[in-house]
A and B are shown apart, each in its own frame.
Chain A
Amino acid sequence: MKKTEIIENINKLLIEDFEIDSNIISPNVKIVEELGIDSLDFVDIVVFIEEVFNIKLGADDFKNVVTLQDFYDLIEKKSK
């Protein structure tokens, strides 16, 4: 999957499912602090990533994920 598709899918999830304002979504935004993603949202994200990208994520994968850009990069790396 191309990086643009990854970004598009993740942004779509954030806007449609989490009702996050599209104006604040940018690569450098912090996922927890600025987007307000909490533990229950992470359940949705993990399930979504598994279904859409067909990849499994573990707790260690998220250790260095702070911003949306980190998250896009993680999915790209895992889906290769």
Chain B
Amino acid sequence: MDTEWKGKSKGNVLGYRIFVFLIKNLGLSSAYFLLYFVATYYCFFSKNSTTSMYYYYRKRRRYSNLKTICSIYKSYYIFGQTIIDRVAVSSGLRKNFTYDFDGIDNIKKVINKKQGGILLSAHVGNFEMARCFFTEIDKNKTIHFLTSDDERTAIKNYLESVTSKSRIKYIYISDDLSHIFEIKAALSRNEIICMTGDRYTENSKYLIQTLLGKEARFPAGPFHLASKFKVSLLFVYVMKESNLHYHLYARKANIIQNDAIALLKLYTENLEWILSKYPLQWFNYFNFWNSYKNQ
């Protein structure tokens, strides 16, 4: 199994086409129903991701074997739901969902400061649903998601073709370093940059920090950028609470200028806090802690 994320997410276009068809023609519940079978399939046939989840629940959360197995299944199911919800909201079913805003004042402060801001998240919950929250706060605010170039996949292209246009833009990390200037330019236009700090990719610089009692590698880039640029920083998570309800958490991070390691420590502490509330919504399906033999 890989000890770092390879830059591509799971699934194929056909699978997504089926779910989009179900959502648009038969409703969300039909797509959720199909997920029971998909989650079962992944439990048995996606060995690498199941192994990584087993490690997370059994070793890091110290669950019993039975609770671990149940949690792996639930994790796949909830992860599937978050993808379905994303497509549903983008396809105009936004009103079907309810939301709680926790720390919305922090986001409003960042927007009102007119200095740009960075939102740092992780692959937990459903961060891409954040755009629903931002639409409610400021319809004209442009949000940029910093993402790997490898994520320009057929799946993403397909989903963009079937969903509504939003004020969300993507900044792709590229070898010519143009993304750094794009980030700087966006911040100087008082726009918001969203990025995740939990997936280290091969050959990139990394920092080491403890998460859930064991050291892991984190990408250095997000923490270096956030600690360098003099803008506000928030830790933001959008967590699924029930089938049609989401909860946004936005917490201010007190940055020590030029200290990426201190920022990473704050980040992991915050991540542990959110995971203690939503242990099933950890969606890093790879050997995150590099703690068992690769298969």
Contacts and interface: CB of A to CB of B under 8 A. Distances in A.
Q: Do A and B come from one complex?
A: yes
A57 B220 CA distance: 23
A74 to B, nearest CB: 14
Contacts of B224: 40, 43
A38 B180 contact: no
B181 A57 contact: yes
A51 to B, nearest CB: 10
A12 B184 CA distance: 23
B139 interface: no
Nearest to A58: B181
Interface in A33-74: 38-40, 42-44, 46-47, 56-59, 62
Nearest to B204: A39
A56 to B, nearest CB: 8
B228 interface: yes
B185 interface: yes
Contacts of B178: 59
A56 B188 CA distance: 10
A6 to B, nearest CB: 20
Given A39-B221, A40-B224, A46 B180 contact: yes
B177 interface: yes
Contacts of B225: 43
B228 A44 contact: yes
Contact of A59 (B181, B188, B229): B181
Given A40-B220, A46-B184, A59 B176 contact: yes
A42 B181 CA distance: 10
A56 B228 CA distance: 15
Contacts of B177: 39, 42, 59, 62
Interface string A14-44: 0000000000000000000000001110111
A32 B225 CA distance: 19
A43 B228 contact: yes
Most chain A beta carbons < 10 A, residue from B177, B178, B221, B229: B177
Interface of B: 176-178, 180-182, 184-185, 188, 205, 220-221, 224-225, 228-229
> Which 8 pairs between the two chains have the least Cβ-Cβ distance?
A59-B178, A59-B181, A40-B224, A58-B181, A39-B177, A42-B177, A43-B228, A47-B228
Given A39-B180, A43-B224, A59-B178, 7 more contacts: A40-B205, A43-B229, A56-B188, A57-B181, A59-B176, A59-B180, A59-B181
22 contacts: A39-B180, A40-B205, A42-B177, A42-B180, A43-B180, A43-B224, A43-B228, A43-B229, A44-B228, A46-B180, A46-B181, A47-B228, A47-B229, A56-B184, A57-B181, A58-B185, A59-B176, A59-B177, A59-B178, A59-B180, A59-B181, A59-B182
